[in-house]
Chains A and B, each alone.
Chain A
Amino acid sequence: MKLRSTSGRLRTAMAGIAVATSVILAVAGCGAGGSSEGAAGKLTVLVEGGGKAELQPIADLYQKETGTTVELVELPYDGLYDRIQTELGSGKTSFDVAALDAIWLSAFSAGVSPLDELFTDDVKRDLFPGLVTEAQVGGSYVGMPVWTNSEILYYRTDLFGDPKEKAAFQAKYGYALVPPTTWKQYKDVAEFFTRDTNGDGQTDLYGTDVKGAVETEWLATVSQTGEKTMVLDPKSGDVTIDDADHLAALNFYTSLLPSAPPGAAQLDWAGAQNLFYQGKLAMMRFWGHAYTQTPANAAVKGKIGVAPMIAGPGGIAGVPGAWYLSVPKATGKQAEAKKFIAFAYAHNNLSIKTSLGLVARISAFESQAGVAGHENYPAILTTLKSPATIARPATPKWQEIVTSVLTPMLQKAVAKGADNAALLKQAKGQIQAIVK
């Protein structure tokens, strides 16, 4: 009797599962995201999560004007790389256009179509030199810049505009307190603002941060020395990371540690940004897009000023954080995909009103000069137009170099008693082993 009863319950459960499975099978053909459109008149664009908003207004307008649906497939940053790598490797792709991070261009260049015909003289004139260089791999243009970013200088206007602070700074350093433009000024101002503000014996305001968990800010510092071969020359394979300019950059970078909060080795973008928002930093070097995204409850809301990135002996320099639109060789919609990319370039300024508000064309940046609330555009423009601003090396091994050499090296460099020259020499050997 008991066996029968248990068996009955099991049968009921199995029947329930069977019914549920049938229902699910009926809908499983298309999934919950909506029905599939026919392949004709449709372009599929792979884009990283943060960049989808940048492309959406362009995709909408393209559909309106051409009738072609543009489906933006949003994937996480790391996942996007894996997905593209897998599909390019398989020889067939589910997408017609992909938005690629600058540092991926070399790795994927063999699988994407040349876009040389899109790079007319007019187009090149309206793009930052660093981006035009970066877009070219193996003699062909493999991606069209769609948006770019750069670190700029953020500072506290309440501190820099305070007459008492101005007077005290003038008295101590012999020149006016202004947003710094040089290494020396930056170091002086950082030192000046590092203090205990409430008299409890603990430093609670720092002049700057020093990021040890990310490498880009140090690379910008390298460019500020005037270095023209950042880390390595991808063509010859020569590794330059231990030359005098790289050492000078690392020495300056770590010289700011006394004016920065402890824990530099673990400090990344999010951590630095939060310290600044909490009012614990007087200055910060950070990506330009963040200017328009200050949280409402930030202690420094309404008290933030921006300026171009500081200059070293070689001038103002940042690292271009550009994304490019590329067409996989495997897609059968080559012409349509290239037409969309040309359209995206032509309507680049539509991205100004998106959440990140990032664009790629010089003219789009220039269009925001004097626009209230968009003070970051001139700062980014000046930084990216500077001759000292150069792109990261075009090597497919770059991501590996960053992860396994540059970031660990920086984390050691920001530790007490670090030997910068020895660290760079060690890094050189590691990079040589990677690229050989």
Chain B
Amino acid sequence: MNGLETRRRPARVILWGALAAVLVLYGFPFVYLLLTSFKTPLDAIAVPPQVLPSQWTLDNYVAALSKEGVVPALINSVATAVLSTAFSLALGVPAAYAITRYRTPSGRIFVIAALVTRMVPTIAVGAPLVETMRRLGISDTTIGLAIAHTTISLPLSIWLMSSFFEAVPVELEEAAKVDGSDRLQAFRHVVLPVVSGGLAVTAIFAFLASWNEFLFALLLTSVRAQTTPIVIANFQTQFGLDWGGMTALSAVYSVPVILLTLALQRHIVAGLTLGAVKG
């Protein structure tokens, strides 16, 4: 036993070393962003760059959060992301269920068509969307932007949920039907609880797609529905970049996503595992 442990130790050290390296590689930019948000303007653009602030300050947070338009933009971001997530789930879950349970040629074409929409560059649909939103009278509104974001997240939601439904044995629904449930009841009371992990994964991906989206927010909003990514980008002006303000607001904007991911971590892992294994 001890011999086996001894033989495994170098491999473990290498493994942990590799994991630490990957963690540093992925984590450093965010850590640097956080540290910069506590730096003075001079430290923030020091040449050569310095990792730690020579003088810690909260001024960047105070300045960023008191900047005109920041708080409304944060509210808009939350509202847009929640709405877009709701739309994606409301449309994507039934679509994915139908595709996996009614295996028809048109269903397969639909799935491929949904995937193709992800291959069209976002900017290519920008101008038509601007015009569509104007005609609908929902330019510069949260609901308009949420609908636009749904066009991004919906194909992904359909594909993700399809793989989760595929993993649920049809026998479960048949058993529910034997017990007197109709298809809708079986779907609500049997299938949906089984794929709750998948729902969480899909929801978080849809939420993130909207939360981080920039181009549609740029094209479709002006003042009333402008979201935080645009406000963050506004710190870059023609004559320079306010690193302190930009990093402070970016740090604030990252918090909800980090908390959401931590809260749903178990569901995400379970959901990804469920989708990866076919029954």
Q: A31-B140, A33-B226, A289-B239 are in contact. Are A295 and B42 (CB under 8 A)?
A: yes
Question: Per-residue 0/1 for A311-354: is the Cβ within 8 Å of any B Cβ (1 yes, 0 no)?
Answer: 00000000001010000000000000000000000000000000
Interface flag for A192 (CB, 8 Å): no
Q: A49-B235, A86-B130, A356-B239 are in contact. Are A274 and B45 (CB under 8 A)?
A: yes
Name the interface residues of B53-72: CB closer than 8 Å to any CB of A. 69, 71-72
Question: Per-residue 0/1 for A9-46: is the Cβ within 8 Å of any B Cβ (1 yes, 0 no)?
Answer: 01100000100110011011111111110000000100
Give the complex CA separation of A368 and B9 in angstroms. Answer: 74
Name, among B141, B223, B239, the residue most crowded by chain A CB atoms within 10 Å (CB to CB).
Answer: B239
The 23 sampled A-B contact pairs (Cβ below 8 Å) are: A10-B193, A21-B83, A25-B83, A29-B142, A31-B221, A31-B226, A33-B76, A33-B226, A34-B72, A44-B222, A71-B223, A77-B238, A79-B233, A83-B219, A86-B126, A86-B219, A94-B140, A94-B222, A101-B238, A274-B47, A295-B42, A321-B238, A356-B239
Interface flag for B209 (CB, 8 Å): no
Interface flag for B192 (CB, 8 Å): yes
Give the segment of A179-187, A241-249, A265-273 that binds chain B.
Answer: A265-273
Name, among A29, A31, A277, the residue most crowded by chain B CB atoms within 10 Å (CB to CB).
Answer: A31
Whether A49 pairs with B189 at a CB distance below 8 angstroms is no
Q: A32-B79, A33-B223 are in contact. Are A50 and B241 (CB under 8 A)?
A: no
Whether B72 pairs with A32 at a CB distance below 8 angstroms is yes
Q: A25-B83, A271-B45, A289-B239 are in contact. Are A7 and B224 (CB under 8 A)?
A: no
Give the complex CA separation of A7 and B86 in angstroms. Answer: 19
User: What residue in chain A is nearest B80 (Cβ atoms)?
Assistant: A28
Q: A74-B234, A76-B236, A290-B239 are in contact. Are A24 and B193 (CB under 8 A)?
A: no
Interface flag for A73 (CB, 8 Å): yes
Give the complex CA separation of A3 and B175 in angstroms. Answer: 13
Interface flag for B2 (CB, 8 Å): no
Question: Per-residue 0/1 for B198-235: is the Cβ within 8 Å of any A Cβ (1 yes, 0 no)?
Answer: 00000000000000001100110111111000100111
Interface flag for A67 (CB, 8 Å): no
Interface flag for B190 (CB, 8 Å): yes
Name, among A34, A101, A270, the residue most crowded by chain B CB atoms within 10 Å (CB to CB).
Answer: A270
Interface flag for B134 (CB, 8 Å): yes
A75: which B residues are within 8 A, CB to CB?
218, 230, 234
Whether B240 pairs with A77 at a CB distance below 8 angstroms is no
Question: Per-residue 0/1 for A127-147: is the Cβ within 8 Å of any B Cβ (1 yes, 0 no)?
Answer: 000000000000000000000
- Min C-beta distance of B59 to chain A, whole Å: 11
Interface flag for B146 (CB, 8 Å): yes
Question: Per-residue 0/1 for B2-18: is the Cβ within 8 Å of any A Cβ (1 yes, 0 no)?
Answer: 00000000000000000
Give the complex CA separation of A405 and B73 in angstroms. Answer: 38
A-B contact count (CB 8 A): 177
10 closest residue pairs by CB, A with B: A50-B237, A31-B225, A76-B233, A31-B224, A33-B224, A32-B75, A28-B143, A49-B234, A28-B142, A6-B193
Whether B72 pairs with A86 at a CB distance below 8 angstroms is no
Give the complex CA separation of A289 and B72 in angstroms. Answer: 30
Interface flag for A92 (CB, 8 Å): yes
A263: which B residues are within 8 A, CB to CB?
47
Whether A20 pairs with B233 at a CB distance below 8 angstroms is no
B130: which A residues are within 8 A, CB to CB?
86-87, 90, 92, 94
B71: which A residues are within 8 A, CB to CB?
32
Question: Per-residue 0/1 for A373-396: is the Cβ within 8 Å of any B Cβ (1 yes, 0 no)?
Answer: 000000000000000000000000
Whether A83 pairs with B218 at a CB distance below 8 angstroms is yes
- Min C-beta distance of B233 to chain A, whole Å: 4
- Min C-beta distance of B245 to chain A, whole Å: 11
Interface flag for A255 (CB, 8 Å): no
- Min C-beta distance of B166 to chain A, whole Å: 20
- Min C-beta distance of A357 to chain B, whole Å: 11
Please tell me which one of the listed residues A3, A11, A269 contacts residue B240 in the complex, with CB atoms under 8 A apart: A269
Whether A36 pairs with B224 at a CB distance below 8 angstroms is yes
Give the complex CA separation of A374 and B94 in angstroms. Answer: 66
Please tell me which one of the listed residues A17, A82, A90, A275 contacts residue B218 in the complex, with CB atoms under 8 A apart: A82
- Min C-beta distance of B263 to chain A, whole Å: 13
Whether B239 pairs with A33 at a CB distance below 8 angstroms is no
Give the complex CA separation of A48 and B238 in angstroms. Answer: 8
Interface flag for A51 (CB, 8 Å): yes
Give the complex CA separation of A132 and B60 in angstroms. Answer: 40
Whether A31 pairs with B237 at a CB distance below 8 angstroms is no
Please tell me which one of the listed residues A21, A44, A273, A298 contacts residue B82 in the complex, with CB atoms under 8 A apart: A21
Whether A271 pairs with B239 at a CB distance below 8 angstroms is no
Interface flag for A160 (CB, 8 Å): no
Name the interface residues of A181-214: CB closer than 8 Å to any CB of B. none
Interface flag for A398 (CB, 8 Å): no
B40: which A residues are within 8 A, CB to CB?
295, 297
